[in-house]
Amino acid sequence: MTSVAAPGEKKQAKAGERPGPGRYICIDCGREIRLDRVDEDLVRCPTCACETYNCFPMTHIRPDIRTPEDVVNPPERRTYKK
C-alpha cells in the first residue's frame, strides 16, 4: 500500500499496485477509477491504457482505526462533556 501524501504534495500510483481505497485519476485522459477495497489492484486506464494515476485516498477514516481488526471491531468512541 502506498503512503499518504503530505498536504500540497501530489501522490501517484501505477497500474498493478494495491494503493488502497480512494479515487485515482488517469494523468493522460482524466478518467476516474474508484477502489473500495484494500486488496483491489489498480488496472490500466480502460480509456487510454495509461498506467499512472494521481491519488486521492479516502480521508474520512477515523484516526483511532489503525488495523484491519479495528475496522471489524471499532474502538468505542469517547464522549466529551462540555
End-to-end CA distance of the chain: 39
Amino acid at 32: E
Grid coordinates standing for 40?
Answer: 483491489
pLDDT by residue (tens digit) across 6-48? 445 568 999 999 988 888 999 999 999 998 888 899 999 999 9
Domain spans of the chain? 13-59
Top pLDDT among 78 and 14 is at 14
Cross-strand bridge partners of residue 54: 12, 25
Give the rounded distance of the alpha carbon of 67 from its chain centre. Answer: 15
CA 26 to chain centre: 14
